[in-house]
Amino acid sequence: MLAEGGHFDVLVIGAGPAGSLTARALSMWGFKTAIVQKDVEPVKFTEVLPPSSMRAICAQGLVNLIHSSHSPLSPCSGVTSHWGEGRIYEDDFIRRPESGGWVVERTALDAELQSLAVSHGAIYRKIQSIDHIETYENGWIIIVDDDVSFTCRFVIDASGRPSTFARRVGAKRQVTSKLFAGGINFVGQAVDDIGESRLFVKSHPEGWSYSISHPEHYLSAVLVSSSSSIKNKASLEKALGKIYPQYVDSEAASLDRVLFTDASSFILDHVAGENWLAVGDAAASFDPITSQGLANAFSSSLIAAHTCREFLLNRNFLALEAYDKAIRDTWSFSDSGRLHVYQQQDQWTESLR
């Protein structure tokens, strides 16, 4: 006997930024919306919102995210990149005082956006797994955790890089570069002495790395590579220790926070279909070198919510097609930028380019 999960207009899978923001918009417009989030322990990690992201944050009406006293964002002064043979580039965000750039602690940002969705009426539920998906005349039956049944008219896949729902209903990943990322949070005196939050990016023969310090006195250092060998904690520590010896000396102990993740660039061959769409990383994942993933989650969730609304109200398939094209154009534009940046780096093998 199946337990009743409930009947909803929209079921959102994944409560990252893209899922929570899509659920927030749809709940605000009166659609009965549920979000199911996989019950995993979140890893505290730091990312950067470049100044260009502000447009999407303003379009969402979320400027308060920056100004509130418990904001998950804190100022970032800019980017210093050592890229290719001896070249150093400085991008000082102070030159763009209208927006600035921001350091983001992801667990805090995600929690803030989830609570915004819930405050507008979305139901939030933690799950272990999605076990069964089937269509019925009014939409979908989704069975989670073996025996809990949800019915809904429309599914939003916001599960991030796994694209859990979209791939189960037949969408295929088109991967342009297969990369892995491994990261460690460092603490200690050397980190405390940094003073400002600035993004440092550096290319190496085996890939590229970045580091960014957070006002709460830790520094996230990440290595991005086409080699899966960095998925091992010991080899990651060794590689990052060579790049950042100042943080692995006796005074700066590494936090036991290690992150391993897929960092590939891909887009699904179709990001929407009858009664579903994918949003954020689930639809199209950007190379981390672009610092575009969060801005894309902020902007694509707004378009996704409008598309879903148009489909539910008018069964307008053209809205789904237009959504697919918007995601595809954004991703293609970014991917040509990614290639341009990688081609400036002459130490790499073809696999990274």
Ligand X SMILES: Cc1cc2nc3c(=O)[nH]c(=O)nc-3n(C[C@H](O)[C@H](O)[C@H](O)COP(=O)(O)OP(=O)(O)OC[C@H]3O[C@@H](n4cnc5c(N)ncnc54)[C@H](O)[C@@H]3O)c2cc1C
Contacts of residue 169, Cβ cutoff 8 Å, sequence gap at least 6: 133, 273, 276
DSSP H or E run through 276: strand 276-278
Amino acid sitting at position 333: F
* Site for ligand X, rule CB under 6 A: 13-19, 36-38, 40, 47-49, 127, 130, 158-160, 162, 164, 181, 222, 261, 263, 280-282, 288, 291-295, 297
Sequence-distant (6+) residues with CB within 8 A of 121 are: 27, 28, 33
Burial class (CB in 10 A: 0-12, 13-18, 19+), 344: exposed
Report the residue number, 48 or 271, with the smaller CB distance to ligand X.
48
CB of 322 to ligand X, least distance (A): 20
Rounded CA-CA distance 202/248 in Å is: 18
CB of 189 to ligand X, least distance (A): 25
30: which DSSP letter?
T
Task: Tell me whether residue 37 or residue 345 sits nearer to ligand X (CB atom).
Answer: 37
Least distance from C-beta 251 to ligand X, angstroms? 26
Residue number, 159 or 307, with CB nearest to ligand X: 159
CB of 249 to ligand X, least distance (A): 25
State which residue, 316 or 341, has the beta carbon closest to ligand X: 341
Q: Classify residue 40 by burial, with Cβ atoms within 10 Å: 0-12, 13-18, 19+.
A: exposed
Instruction: In angstroms, give the least distance from the CB of 187 to ligand X.
Output: 20
Q: Please state the closest distance from residue 268 (CB atom) to ligand X, in A.
A: 13
Sign of CA dihedral 157, 161, 163, 164: negative
Question: 54 vs 181, which CB is nearer to ligand X?
Answer: 181
Comparison of 130 and 268: residue with beta carbon closer to ligand X: 130
